[in-house]
Amino acid sequence: MQPKLICQSCSMPIDNIKDRGTEKDGTYSSEYCKYCYQNGAFVNPDIRVEDMKSFIEKKMQEMKLPQGVVQQSLSILPHLKRWKNNKQG
């Protein structure tokens, strides 16, 4: 089953509210996961899209996810909200 919501920074599924990051007021974000976004700000604000790709690939391989899933996540990364209009990377 495809996730309905994915993190717009790393592509992690965030359908489970416990996987979502938080806004400054403590509410859960509907766009970002808890690993990328906390208290209304990115955890690693200076990371480049290429560095995020490397990080995600390593984590997904450690989780022993199928290579197709890994490649799908990596291919959509540049199209996510955080990176779409970002000139760095």
- Distance, CA of 88 to CA of 59 (rounded, Å): 22
pLDDT of 88 reads 47
pLDDT > 70? residue 1: no
Q: In the structure, what pLDDT confidence band is assigned to residue 14 with cuts at 50, 70 and 90? A: very high
Q: What is the pTM of this model?
A: 0.88
Q: In the structure, what pLDDT confidence band is assigned to residue 85 with cuts at 50, 70 and 90? A: confident
- In 2-88, where do the E strands start and end? 20-22, 28-33, 37-38, 41-42
Q: In the structure, what pLDDT confidence band is assigned to residue 3 with cuts at 50, 70 and 90? A: confident
Average pLDDT, the chain: 93
pLDDT > 90? residue 89: no
Longest dimension (CA), the chain: 38
pLDDT > 90? residue 13: yes
